[in-house]
Amino acid sequence: MASPEIDALTQALARLPGLGPRSARRAVLHLLKRRETALAPLVLALQAVEARLSTCEICGNVDTSNPCAVCTDPRRDTSALCVVEEVADLWALDRSRLFPGRYHVLGGRLSALDGVRPENLSIDALIGRVAAGGIDEVVLAMNATLEGQTTMHYVADRLGDFPVRVMQLAHGMPVGGELDYLDEGTLAQALRARRPV
Amino acid sequence: MASPEIDALTQALARLPGLGPRSARRAVLHLLKRRETALAPLVLALQAVEARLSTCEICGNVDTSNPCAVCTDPRRDTSALCVVEEVADLWALDRSRLFPGRYHVLGGRLSALDGVRPENLSIDALIGRVAAGGIDEVVLAMNATLEGQTTMHYVADRLGDFPVRVMQLAHGMPVGGELDYLDEGTLAQALRARRPV
């Protein structure tokens, strides 16, 4: 029999991915018992983000500045562009610090099932960035799913008229993967793309 | 390469129980992409709780009112008291709606290892509530752990001088439990407390 305020907080937290009703209750109790060290800092952190949140007008990243920190970073290689489906993919790739260039977030993937057509994704904006010049290489880093690969081929077609190298990610065994546990699709890719030792 | 504000929010969320760095990032992305439907309501819910959070001076529950909603509920049976270790236990029991009385939160359990002694728990406050009269039955609903049971026996001793029934929870097989998967301690308890069908 918690108060309406505590119930509302529990429900708001339970809607986050990775949290259900039970873990949301545990999180709320954690916050209630640590008002100064957990609850207050979380409120401040959320407010700070809420006040300054925006979508980058260049690449589609969400950040507290617009253009985002990636697009305004002077150390970035402006001649390389990595195209991803979602902001989460941008973050995942950028955490690895392996790609020196900038990004372009499509905002989803082509899907006949979900009714997502090319005009629903920021493909025209991507073409615009490439048409503006200065870009040598475009890496299409879509998910290795059917819809991701469909999107990749569509975007590759659209980029065919421009003097840029259009690249895709390598497919094969994940590092640490065991043959016995791999699905057939991955195995087939790994075998097809085999190379000398 | 997220902004400092987004990093701070991710870290604040990652400290919640049940969330790690990866799930906190997913939760932050979820919030960023749903500013109006997820981020704003969460900020409001947290602020509402933070503004009114207090510990109940009667039972030790945390709530947005003091005394808490349980202690001020006129439909509660004031002659029955259920003693629990933590606020989480109170919530768990109260969700089941099986106990009609009120609660008393000890704030932990006796532990030689962690240096928790009787004076560190709200045992004196419990004695005070019982000594004030009007209570017929005290249910000691401690965890079925070594420390929980030690605490239970200590509290039961302290309550020995008062004209109240001091009860403990039943031990045995959990509902849906399979013999083959039960630990020996539970099996022994279930066998020892066997009763006619």
Among partner residues A18, A50, A87, which is closest to B39 by beta-carbon distance?
A: A50
Contact list, A40 vs chain B (CB under 8 Å): 50
CATH of domain B4-52: 1.10.8.420
Is B69–A27 a contact, with Cβ atoms under 8 angstroms apart?
no
Confidence of residue B197 (pLDDT cuts 50, 70, 90): low
Contact list, A50 vs chain B (CB under 8 Å): 35, 39-40, 43
pLDDT at B27: 93
Mean pLDDT calculated for residue range B45-53 = 90
Contact list, B28 vs chain A (CB under 8 Å): 49
A-to-B residue pairs, Cβ atoms closer than 8 angstroms: 158
Among partner residues A3, A31, A43, which is closest to B47 by beta-carbon distance?
A: A43
Q: pLDDT of B74-132, one tens digit each?
A: 999 999 999 999 998 898 888 877 888 999 999 999 999 999 999 999 999 999 999 99
- Cα B10–Cα B13–Cα B15 angle in degrees, nearest 5: 115
pLDDT at B1: 53
Give the count of alpha carbons within 13 A of A122, CB side only. 22
- Look at the block and give the residue holding tokens 């008393």: B104
Contact list, B11 vs chain A (CB under 8 Å): 45
Is A17–B8 a contact, with Cβ atoms under 8 angstroms apart?
no
Amino acid of residue A155: V
Is A70–B41 a contact, with Cβ atoms under 8 angstroms apart?
no
Whole-Å CA distances, A108 to A53, A83, B22, B115: 20, 11, 21, 55
Is A18–B33 a contact, with Cβ atoms under 8 angstroms apart?
no
Positions of chain A with pLDDT lower than 70, given as ranges: 1-2, 196-197
Using the predicted structure, report yes or no on whether residue B174 has a pLDDT greater than 70: yes
pLDDT at A13: 93
Radius of gyration of chain B (CA): 21
Residues of each domain in chain A carrying CATH 1.10.8.420:
4-52
Among partner residues B1, B3, B26, which is closest to A94 by beta-carbon distance?
A: B1
Please state the pTM of the whole predicted model: 0.71
pLDDT at A196: 66
CATH of domain B62-168: 3.40.1360.10
Residue B35 to residue A136: CA distance in whole angstroms? 35
Is B3–A63 a contact, with Cβ atoms under 8 angstroms apart?
yes
pLDDT at A95: 81
Contact list, B8 vs chain A (CB under 8 Å): 45, 48
Percentage of chain B beyond pLDDT 90 is 54
> Residue B12's closest chain A neighbor by CA?
A42
Contact list, A88 vs chain B (CB under 8 Å): 25-26, 29
pLDDT at B44: 92
Residues 6+ apart with CB under 8 A from B111: B147
Residues of each domain in chain A carrying CATH 3.40.1360.10:
62-168
As a 3-state breakdown, chain B gives helix, strand, coil percent values, each rounded to 5, of 45, 10, 40
pLDDT at B119: 95
Rounded to the nearest angstrom, the minimum Cα separation between B108 and chain A is 13
Mean pLDDT calculated for residue range B42-53 = 90
